């Protein structure tokens, strides 16, 4: 990557990932180490889009970066919300609704069908959630959202 392309990627990453950092809803139920891992995941996703679009003019790249940045923000918030359900009895099947939103946003981000092992990660998360094993639950959520950019 030449210097101009690097500058474009850095600029686009700052523009489209920076606002995610300013939102409090992505980390309130996470310990610092978990927040750092989720942050690294999110940054890798937006950076991958910035790299893929580095040769496009802003008018063409911005819609792609907006889509992926929005999907990343929603996935990160969903992971945080799911972690907030551990040790609580949610009303209206909040866990299933939130998990469904995370999976839909993951499909939107990747433009791919969900991986076959995603159901296994969902089941393992639910087991860890029931046992109130926060670290194991987070580990399964993080495994659930892994993409080629992660």
At residue 20, the pLDDT reads 85
- Please check the confidence at residue 1 and state whether its pLDDT lies above 80: no
At residue 2, the pLDDT reads 64
Residue 64 CA: distances (Å) to CA of 4, 52, 70, 125, 141: 20, 10, 10, 31, 25
Residue 109 CA: distances (Å) to CA of 40, 69, 102, 125: 16, 9, 10, 21
3-state secondary structure 3-36: HHHHHHHHHHHHHHHHHHHHCHHHCCCCCHHHHH
At residue 99, the pLDDT reads 96
Q: What is the pLDDT of residues 15-52, one digit of tens each?
A: 988 888 888 789 999 999 999 999 999 999 999 999 99
Q: What percentage of the chain exceeds 70 in pLDDT?
A: 95
Confidence of residue 80 (pLDDT cuts 50, 70, 90): very high
Alpha carbons 103 and 127: distance in angstroms, whole number: 18
Domain segments of the chain: what residues? 3-144
How many residues in total does the chain contain? 150
CB 102 within 8 A of CB 145: yes
User: Tokens 């606002």 identify what position?
Assistant: 19
| CA angle centred on 72, ends 107 and 87, rounded to 5° | 90
Output the pTM of the full model.
0.92
Q: What is the pLDDT of residues 94-103, one digit of tens each?
A: 899 999 999 9
Neighbours of 9 (CB within 10 A): 19
At residue 134, the pLDDT reads 97
Q: What is the pLDDT of residues 103-129, one digit of tens each?
A: 999 999 999 998 889 999 999 999 999
């Amino acid at each position: 990557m030449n210097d101009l392309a690097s500058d474009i990627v850095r600029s686009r990453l700052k523009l489209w990932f920076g606002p995610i950092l300013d939102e409090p809803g992505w980390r309130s139920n996470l310990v610092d180490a978990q927040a750092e891992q989720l942050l690294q995941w999110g940054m890798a996703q937006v950076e991958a889009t910035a790299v893929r679009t580095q040769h496009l003019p802003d008018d063409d790249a911005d819609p792609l970066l907006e889509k992926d940045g929005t999907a990343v923000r929603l996935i990160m918030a969903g992971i945080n919300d799911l972690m907030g359900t551990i040790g609580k009895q949610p009303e209206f099947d909040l866990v299933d609704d939130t998990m469904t939103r995370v999976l839909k946003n993951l499909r939107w981000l990747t433009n791919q069908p969900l991986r076959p092992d995603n159901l296994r990660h969902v089941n393992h998360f639910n087991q860890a959630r029931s046992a109130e094993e926060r670290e194991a639950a987070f580990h399964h959520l993080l495994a659930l959202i892994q993409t080629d950019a992660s």
